[in-house]
Structure formats: C-alpha cells, structure tokens
A and B are shown apart, each in its own frame.
Chain A
Amino acid sequence: MSSSGDLLHVVTNDSISAGRKAFGRAITWGSAVCMVIIAACQLAQVLGWWDLGFENWRPTLYAYVMWAVCLCWGQVLQYGEHGKRTLFVLPAALFVISLTVFPLLFGLIIAFSDWNLSSPDGRQFNGLDNVRQMWADPFYWNAMLNMVWYVLAILVEYAIAFGLALALNAEIRARKFFRVAFLLPLMLSPVAVSWMIGKSMLEARFGPISRLGRALGWDNPSFFESPWIAKATIMLMDAWTFIPFMMIMILAGLQAIPKELNEAAKVDGANGWRAFWEVTFPMMLPVSITAILIRIIFKLKLADIVIAVTSGGPGGATDTVTSFIFREYRDRSNVGYGTLLAMVYLVVIILVMTLLMKLADRYARPRT
C-alpha cells in the first residue's frame, strides 16, 4: 500500500462559499461546546456542587453522539470533496476511539483505586496498593504461567492443522463434505461446546469418552481432577474448536502454491517427504506465521471454556488470566484490582506480540 499520493485521483473544483464554511465550523464547534457544557453540568452534580436532577450520564452520551455527527457533517461542509473522503474513515475511527481509548484511560484511573461496586462509599484512590497485592498474588502469576502453556499448545494445533490441510488439498472425493465437517467445530459456541464435551462427553461415569478410556484400561478416568490432565483437557477442547481456523488459512496458502513447483521437485527426484520439507514448507512459512500469530491473539482471549467447565480448578491449574479476572470480579466485585490485573496483562501482551511480530518479520521475509 502506497503511503503517499492517492491511488484514486480525483480532480474537483469545489467552490465552497464562505457562508457554508462558516456554518460547518459553527456546527462542529457549537456541538463541541454544547457537549462540554453538558458534561460540566453533570460533573458538577456528581461533585455535589449543583443538583440538576440528572439520573445518569446519558445526556453527555447524547451530546457526544451529536458532536460526532456534527463533526462528520462539518467536514463535508468545510472541505467539500476532501471532507467526503474523510467521511469514509472518520466514523469508524471515532467509533473505535470512543470505545477503546476512552475506556482505557478511564481504566487507568480505576486500576489505582479500591472500588467495590456493591459498597456505598464508591471509588477510593489507593495508590500502589493494587500493584502490591498483584505482586503477592500467586494465583495471578499462576494464571500467567498457564497462558504460556496454553500458547505453547498452539504448536501442536498447528501441526495437526497442517496435516489436515494437506489431506484436504490432496485429490480426494467428497471434498465439500470434509470441508464442512472440519469447519463445524469453529461455528459452535464455546459455551455450548464446553457443555457438550466438557460436561457431557467427559462425564466420569457415563460419558462416552470416559467409557472409551475405561475400555482402553484407564481404571478411573477423570479429566478435571489432576492439574495436568485438566489443563490438557482444556487445551484439547480449545484445539477442537480452533483447529479449523488454522486449517483453512493453511489450506488457502497451499492452494496458492503453483503446481509447477511440486512437479519440478518431483522431476528433480525429490520424494514426497523431501518435497514437503524443501518446497511446500518453506513456501508456506509466511502463511503459517500469520496463522500462528492470529491464533495466539485468539488464544490469549481464552476464557469461556474455562469459566464454563472448570471455573479455574483444580487449584487454579486451568485458569486463564481472563477467567481469573472474571472470577475475581464475580466473587469480590472489586473493579479496581481486576482492572489493574487486566492492564498489566495488556502490557505483557503488547510487549510479547511486538516481539513476536518483529521476529516473524525477520524470518518470514522471502529470501531472494
């Protein structure tokens, strides 16, 4: 994507009258001032200076929405054709900014306070207490460590997904059936899956998988009692839902490899195994890295299966950071501490992902 110059050249002779420009500027700033005034009034009420009888912050929200609309409209009024171009990106940008940047800034304030939503005294700034508490919280670090294991499991998922993609890419009959069947797990809601598999099929007494385990000589199959088996079970269930995702990305990559390449390898005398390692696999490296990175991003959000099946047990062995914070909030309804944990998690994620992307960039670049 070129960074300078439009791909689409548009020559326009906008003749924007001074009145229109002024009107555009007026509504943009007018609505902004309006918003600020309303917000200030509400703030005054919250601080107890001036009771205006607001029940909630809705008026400010409406003023904000009005300001956003006026800003977009004002762009067109003031800049004509250029404004219309801005209009493509501006709504999405405003939407994302108002729903992420603002809550994140707000979250930073919450993170350093003691705020129990059910207690009447409201938010209390408590400095670095939360940080100290986090530092001494073994369950949080345990959850972080679990995330490392969960992320490492992606390598196995990747190998399976690659194998399946190769099988699907071979000349087979009923390809459509297999593709649909392989895709289905991805479509199912993780919560339903966690009941279907985690609670029903893995039930210790009469779940089919436990039966199978017993038939294979495992005396007392229980999947959620010992820490490592529980962790592995969660990994398997998560893998079950998300392998199709990697498989499809890899399949798309495989189909984009020109056939001549494999034929040439065959002519040169490479058998299937060598052709795979020396032609297919290197060609697939960029796609693989993209697939793995996206999968890591999704894996870091893993929560619903854990919440629904084990709620972190036994002894926090299956906890993910998200499910831990979720329970932390559910049990103690302490917003402040939970937010701090989430913020720290975000920072860790950003650091790790940046590092991974830098590494990926270095290794995935096609060698010429």
Chain B
Amino acid sequence: MTGTPMPPANAQIFHDSPGDRAFQARWWTGRATVYALLILWAFICLFPIYWTLTTSFKTAPDVMKGHMLPWVDFFPAWLGWRSLGLSPDTWGNESTVRAEFLKRFSNSAIVSVTASVLAVALGSLAAYGLSRFSYKFAWMRNSDISFFFLSQLILPPVVLALPMLVLYKELALLDTRIGLILLYTLSVLPIVIWIMRDQFSSIPTELEEAALVDGLSIWGAFITIILPIALPGMVAAFILSLVLTWNEYFFAALLTSTHANTLPVMVASQTGSQGISWWSMAALSWAAILPLIVIGVVLERYIIKGMAAGAVK
C-alpha cells in the first residue's frame, strides 16, 4: 500500500476505461465527418444560387476579377436588375424588357398552375377509382389500367414532340397556352397517380362505408370525407407537378414561338443573342428560379412527402 503515491487531492478519481475513451474519440471523428460532409454538400448546393444572385449586382470589372463578397470586395450595383427593368429606379418607367419578362412569367405561372390543377384533379379521381373499385374495360383490369397510366412515365417527350407539333399545327394550337397545358398535364399525370394511389390506399375503406350507410353517394363520400383526408397528398402532388411544369423546357421550346413562350425559353434564348451580359442574365436566371426557391423553402415538407410516396411500401 505504501508503494503507490497518493494522487493529488483534486485529481479525477473515476476514469472512463481506455476502451470507452477510444470509443468517444471515434464518436467525435464520426460526428466531424458527418458534419463536414453535410456542410460541404450544402455549400455545393447553395453556392451556384449565391453566385448567380451576387453576379446580378456586379458590374463588368467585378465579374472579370471574380469578386465574390458584396460590400467586401465589390459594391453592389443594380446593373442587372436595371436591364430587366426591375430595379427600384426603373420601376416607374416603361420597360420593354420588363413587359417581356412579365409576360413570360405570367405564361409560365398560368401554364404550370393550370396543368398541375388539371393533373391533380384527373389523377386523384383515377387513383381513387383504381384503389376502391374493380374495373373491366375490354380486357383491361385494374392492374392493367394502373400499369397503363404509370407506363406513360417511360414515354420520352421527344416521341410525342414531333407528332404533336404537326397535330397542333393542324388544330391551330401551336403557340397557345392551352396546347402547352394539355401536354404538361399529360407529362405529370403518371406521377400524380402514383402519389395519390399511395395516399388513397392508406385510407381505410370503413370511412366510406360509414358514409354510405349514412346516405351519401359514392361521389358525395369521396368529396366530403376522403378528399379532406387526402389533402396533404394532393398538395404534395400539386407542388411536385408545379416544379416539373415550371421548369419544363423541351415542349415549350418546340411548340411555342412568340405568344405562349414560358420563362425557361426566354432564359435559354437570351444566352445566344446579344453576347453574354453577365449581370442581366444572372438577374433573369435568378428571377426565373426565385418562385421555386420560395416554394422549396416553404413547402419542403410536402415535396419530400410526395417524392417519398411509393418509395416505401
């Protein structure tokens, strides 16, 4: 007993065993890796958005020198936004560019919202029917009909594009919003049906049975009982459709020319024409993605819900 020296009075008496300490170190390095990874990827995701936003406030020398931090290495100017007619000092004036921009913007908004509403309406009805009743159209049973709808997802737009171009020309639907709306509805319909089928099959049929016993018709039960419950799924489907249709470029580039152009077509057409004036392109791009950034931040929950549908059975 006398061989071991007494530890100093303030020393820690209880220690973690060496094994536990190693574990702790591992835990900390694990944490650090996870956070490093997350921060790195968040940077990769956010930097282009940040870069575009700051570029829209730069002047030519700032762009050339690659300045990045506003107020630190360059002083923000309204250059890009002025050329769009969207800066504070040009707000009151007439601006052809702004008129053009607003026209494209409203085209995009009208087309994408209408197509999404239409797709959600048609898709929800079909998904509800398929999840509740058994059908038999000619040789097609429920699973065939479901497959028919979902298989539209595989159809690449380019296959429909040229026949549609010719058909629309004959039907005088070329360069009209209605033409675009129809095609956009078609292209998001399978996704809506997928999400909504998932949503409806998670709702117990007892609910409708109770409603039917109480004297509601099938459609009455669907509208008053089931739709409110399925609303989150419908919102998810709607938002997802909105994102896809707002961003669509291919059909819009082929089927519209002057009247029904959407925003992506305008963005794409600017790059070639008058050389690249960085600030105004940056402002235009940023204005084009802003609505979706807002939607993404505010409604993130629904988007994730929509995309996760069907992933997990």
Residues of B near A84 (CB, < 8 A) are: 217-219
Name the contact of B163 in the complex, choosing from A103, A304, A321 (C-beta under 8 A).
A103
Q: A85-B129, A99-B183 are in contact. Are A5 and B38 (CB under 8 A)?
A: no
Name the contact of A343 in the complex, choosing from B64, B159, B296, B303 (C-beta under 8 A).
B159
Stretch touching chain A among B8-16, B70-78, B90-98, B275-283: B275-283
- Complex Cα spacing A196 to B63, Å: 13
The reply to whether B285 and A335 form a contact with Cβ atoms under 8 Å apart is: no
Q: A208-B51, A303-B158, A307-B253 are in contact. Are A187 and B292 (CB under 8 A)?
A: yes
Q: What's the least CB distance linking A208 to chain B, in Å?
A: 6
Residues of B near A321 (CB, < 8 A) are: 156, 158
A residues 19-68 near B (Cβ < 8 Å) are 55-58, 61
B residues 120-154 near A (Cβ < 8 Å) are 122-123, 125-126, 128-135, 137, 141-143, 145-146, 148-149, 152-154
Q: What's the least CB distance linking B19 to chain A, in Å?
A: 14
Q: Which of B137, B160, B169 has the most CB of A within 10 A?
A: B160
The reply to whether B122 and A91 form a contact with Cβ atoms under 8 Å apart is: yes
- Complex Cα spacing A320 to B31, Å: 41
Residues of B near A325 (CB, < 8 A) are: 158, 161-162
The reply to whether A329 and B292 form a contact with Cβ atoms under 8 Å apart is: no
The reply to whether A190 and B247 form a contact with Cβ atoms under 8 Å apart is: yes
The reply to whether B155 and A100 form a contact with Cβ atoms under 8 Å apart is: yes
The reply to whether B154 and A349 form a contact with Cβ atoms under 8 Å apart is: yes
Contact code string B216-228 (vs A, CB < 8 Å = 1, else 0): 0111001000000
A residues 319-352 near B (Cβ < 8 Å) are 321-322, 325-326, 329, 335, 338-339, 342-343, 345-346, 349-350
The reply to whether A107 and B163 form a contact with Cβ atoms under 8 Å apart is: yes
- Complex Cα spacing A112 to B287, Å: 43
Name the contact of B310 in the complex, choosing from A256, A290, A338 (C-beta under 8 A).
A290
The reply to whether A195 and B182 form a contact with Cβ atoms under 8 Å apart is: no
Residues of B near A303 (CB, < 8 A) are: 157-158, 249-250
B28 CB within 8 Å of chain A: no
- Complex Cα spacing A163 to B171, Å: 50
Given contacts A104-B160, A189-B247, 9 further A-B contacts (CB under 8 A): A93-B148, A167-B34, A201-B48, A248-B303, A248-B304, A249-B307, A308-B268, A342-B162, A343-B159
Q: A93-B145, A192-B267 are in contact. Are A99 and B208 (CB under 8 A)?
A: no
B24 CB within 8 Å of chain A: no
- Complex Cα spacing A208 to B63, Å: 10
Chain B: number of interface residues, binned into ranges: 35 or more
- Complex Cα spacing A106 to B159, Å: 11
B residues 29-79 near A (Cβ < 8 Å) are 30, 34-35, 37-38, 41-42, 44-49, 51-52, 55, 63-66, 68
- Complex Cα spacing A305 to B33, Å: 33
B289 CB within 8 Å of chain A: yes
B230 CB within 8 Å of chain A: no
The reply to whether B165 and A335 form a contact with Cβ atoms under 8 Å apart is: yes
Stretch touching chain A among B81-89, B99-107, B185-193: B185-193
B297 CB within 8 Å of chain A: yes
The reply to whether B126 and A93 form a contact with Cβ atoms under 8 Å apart is: yes
Q: What's the least CB distance linking A188 to chain B, in Å?
A: 5
Residues of A near B208 (CB, < 8 A) are: 8
The reply to whether B34 and A182 form a contact with Cβ atoms under 8 Å apart is: no
The reply to whether B263 and A95 form a contact with Cβ atoms under 8 Å apart is: no
Residues of A near B51 (CB, < 8 A) are: 196, 200-201, 208
The reply to whether A184 and B296 form a contact with Cβ atoms under 8 Å apart is: yes
The reply to whether B268 and A349 form a contact with Cβ atoms under 8 Å apart is: no
- Complex Cα spacing A339 to B222, Å: 42
- Complex Cα spacing A256 to B309, Å: 12
- Complex Cα spacing A343 to B158, Å: 9
The reply to whether B267 and A206 form a contact with Cβ atoms under 8 Å apart is: no
A residues 188-208 near B (Cβ < 8 Å) are 188-193, 195-197, 199-201, 205-206, 208
Name the contact of A339 in the complex, choosing from B68, B156, B162 (C-beta under 8 A).
B162
A-B pairs with beta carbons under 8 A, tally: 319
Residues of A near B257 (CB, < 8 A) are: none
**CB nearest to B62 among chain A residues:** A206
Q: What's the least CB distance linking B144 to chain A, in Å?
A: 9
Between-chain CB contacts (< 8 Å), 7 pairs: A6-B133, A95-B122, A180-B296, A192-B289, A195-B281, A307-B268, A321-B158
- Complex Cα spacing A184 to B52, Å: 14
Q: A8-B209, A88-B125, A251-B308 are in contact. Are A100 and B186 (CB under 8 A)?
A: yes
- Complex Cα spacing A7 to B209, Å: 10
**CB nearest to B243 among chain A residues:** A187
The reply to whether B167 and A103 form a contact with Cβ atoms under 8 Å apart is: yes
The reply to whether A8 and B133 form a contact with Cβ atoms under 8 Å apart is: yes
Q: A8-B133, A190-B247, A335-B165 are in contact. Are A167 and B296 (CB under 8 A)?
A: no
B231 CB within 8 Å of chain A: no
B172 CB within 8 Å of chain A: yes
Q: A189-B247, A206-B63, A251-B308 are in contact. Are A184 and B126 (CB under 8 A)?
A: no
The reply to whether A307 and B249 form a contact with Cβ atoms under 8 Å apart is: yes
Q: A188-B247, A191-B249 are in contact. Are A301 and B160 (CB under 8 A)?
A: no
Name the contact of B34 in the complex, choosing from A4, A172, A301, A307 (C-beta under 8 A).
A172
Q: A188-B289, A189-B247, A196-B48 are in contact. Are A3 and B312 (CB under 8 A)?
A: no
The reply to whether B296 and A187 form a contact with Cβ atoms under 8 Å apart is: yes
Residues of B near A339 (CB, < 8 A) are: 162-163
B180 CB within 8 Å of chain A: no
Name the contact of B157 in the complex, choosing from A95, A117, A251, A322 (C-beta under 8 A).
A322
